[in-house]
Chain A
């Protein structure tokens, strides 16, 4: 655009040029375009889940704005007079009545409600998958630790956005969810009832909660999410995108397409693809049919009452927790205080808080935990293949299993009816698995990762098995191995493989406690290790297998081995 020199100011000739130059000389757009337009993004399908999350968030803003035009967050009582016959004349809150009006009496309202809700489910799902990708490829390592933390905050915010939105229709299903929140709050000793009364503006359900959740849902939480997305993307630009190792890809470059024009077009197109997929789903599949559930009333609880998928694991943890152990032990303790006894109801508090605390605490601190174990302070812009970090991958899978068992427990009743098994047995099995499943998953995953590394090593050294069996003139059968090309070979041999660091004695000849612990942990992490193929090994193997590779033609080469 304004490629002017110092001596001769640029004079645009065309109309468009004049307008562009007018704007550019005032806002300096060309500098921004120059910087951002030439930002390189590598191409890999697993890098696109963050984009999906961003686009679903945009769709949520658009569809949500439409819904706010017609939704009324009032808990005042009314009698429904809309066009849905099975609820005509039923007493309900204005919030529920307006949700029903959006569904049945406002043109396109039901579609927009379904777009909003399906987008919310996909939003949290894509955030989760994006984080799993980042974790398993080691993209949280220096310099991206803070961005990982911002991502964790975004996950929690998206859960909060989801939950506050889930409660707004004030139907029976969402009211049951609020009742559980109320119960968990009241289980907190001493201050529990105060907290609950504070949130609900009196005894549950009160007449304040919907309005309060509405403000959180449409104002505070989206604003903080937007802020966090801004920080998140700023740091992505600052750090540049990470990439998988490959020929020509190093720790100091990024190989891919620039934003302008290729990536901008791709990303813009992808936005419409995501929107299109969600619109198609929303047009064809119903979600949260609030008319089925009826208005909220604290007395009934419907069978099959579950939260949306992302809160399911907390619901599952509550279902997994036994109410009592044997006839006498009920997990409830009375704590004596000067003003009397206060109950500590661990059978609610423990499942509601402990698994979530474990998962989030580990998630937030993991970049520093791993850096402490590996003592690796270098910058990493090249990603790990999950198999090349067996212990990290195994811990990640253990966490996923821990989460998924609780998630499955939230649908224990549906597992029971749909697989024709006893509900009690489902819970017993899941209780066992929630404790031992992660351990089993850890061991199995680490073994699989190591086995895959060994397979990679085998292929790097001896080539790919072609499945072609050749009989040599002297009667011996051999399978022909084909050496992999240099691109594949690079992928198989170029990775870091840390070794166990042995604690060293200090000046006094003593090993400090921290060093001892570090030595133990380091051994746990890196004791089982498949070393990457060295150039020397490659050289030797090429020598050895020349005959095998060449096939049966060269009998001399084989027999002279």
Chain B
């Protein structure tokens, strides 16, 4: 203690103090932010994956995302984007992007699963980010669909529609329909927030809750429509269109038939 009080007027004391304060703030921030981050038991990659992924990245992605994935005017930096982001964007066919627009369109997947994994490994090697979830984490049979449904209605339905049939956003952006999307991609979409979607971090929706949401989505997807053809699950608009076109159309055909014999 004596040594400290003796040296507190040392010319370098202020510098030392500043360094210490920065360390503490940064440390707290790092702990706090990593608590908010989706930490998945990483699907592990080999050094070879990273190397092959780097080559694929340079050939297919670097023209927009830049060499070393540091970004350009056309596309953001991918340092810290994480393996989950690559697995979702490339694995769902959104990347490489077909054309510039309000958001990336889904198109046929351009790479094999192995290649997607290699690119994910490369991007993950550039900086820590959300990792690809394991199969156990996204196992729909382990989740609670009723709880997932409640979470879905509160957090997701305002864009994706209560029946996950999709919906419009501003200026040509949209939330896609979710049926047919794999469990892993649903999870990755929540942790990475692709396109215009917000990130639902683990502090916001825990991994268990995410699993419940996946269970809900897979339940309504697999159960079919109990009441007959679902008409796109789009609600009263498609129902109104149906009754005006098909319902009234058939009725009119009958009225014409019933009155066709006279005059």
Of the 9-residue stretches A204-212, A360-368, A378-386, A409-417, which lies at the interface with chain B? Answer: A409-417
Q: Which 6 A-B pairs have the closest CB atoms?
A: A303-B167, A309-B240, A286-B227, A413-B168, A302-B162, A422-B172
Known A-B contacts A86-B145, A89-B146, A125-B248; the reply to A299 vs B154 at CB < 8 A is yes
Name B235-258 residues within 8 Å CB distance of A.
Answer: 235-237, 239-244, 246-248, 250-252, 254-256, 258
State which of A103, A304, A424 has its C-beta within 8 Å of the C-beta of B171. Answer: A424
Known A-B contacts A45-B255, A257-B262, A277-B247; the reply to A104 vs B226 at CB < 8 A is yes
Across-interface contacts of B185 in A (CB, < 8 A): none
Task: Judge whether A85 and B145 touch: CB under 8 Å.
Answer: yes
A118 interface residue (CB < 8 Å to B): yes
State which of A46, A294, A308, A412 has its C-beta within 8 Å of the C-beta of B236. Answer: A308
The smallest beta-carbon distance between A245 and chain B, in angstroms, is 11
Besides the contacts A309-B237, A312-B236, what 19 more A-B pairs have beta carbons closer than 8 Å?
Answer: A45-B255, A45-B260, A86-B216, A86-B220, A121-B240, A121-B243, A125-B244, A125-B247, A257-B262, A277-B247, A281-B247, A284-B229, A285-B231, A286-B229, A291-B226, A304-B167, A308-B239, A309-B243, A309-B244
Task: Judge whether B161 and A302 touch: CB under 8 Å.
Answer: yes
A65 interface residue (CB < 8 Å to B): no
State which of B146, B231, B237 has its C-beta within 8 Å of the C-beta of A90. Answer: B146
Task: Judge whether A294 and B153 touch: CB under 8 Å.
Answer: yes
A472 interface residue (CB < 8 Å to B): no
The interface on chain B, measured as residues whose beta carbon lies within 8 A of the other chain's beta carbons, has a size of 62
Name B153-170 residues within 8 Å CB distance of A.
Answer: 153-154, 157-163, 165-170
Classify chain A: how many residues form its interface, as a range.
35 or more
Known A-B contacts A300-B157, A302-B153, A417-B167; the reply to A281 vs B227 at CB < 8 A is no
Known A-B contacts A48-B259, A273-B254, A308-B240; the reply to A300 vs B154 at CB < 8 A is yes
Across-interface contacts of B242 in A (CB, < 8 A): 281, 285
Known A-B contacts A48-B255, A125-B248, A308-B236; the reply to A86 vs B219 at CB < 8 A is yes
Across-interface contacts of B252 in A (CB, < 8 A): 45
Across-interface contacts of A410 in B (CB, < 8 A): 237
Task: Judge whether B259 and A307 touch: CB under 8 Å.
Answer: no
CA of A45 to CA of B230 in the docked complex: distance in angstroms?
Answer: 32
The digit string for B122-159, where 1 denotes a CB below 8 A from any CB of A, is 00000000000000000000000110111001100111
Task: Judge whether A289 and B233 touch: CB under 8 Å.
Answer: yes
Chain A residues in the interface with B (C-beta under 8 A): 43-49, 52, 85-90, 103-104, 110, 114, 118, 121-122, 125-126, 129, 172-173, 246, 255-257, 266, 269-270, 273-274, 277-278, 281-289, 291-294, 297, 299-309, 312, 410-414, 416-417, 420-424
Task: Judge whether A309 and B146 touch: CB under 8 Å.
Answer: no
Task: Judge whether B153 and A256 touch: CB under 8 Å.
Answer: no
Task: Judge whether A285 and B229 touch: CB under 8 Å.
Answer: yes
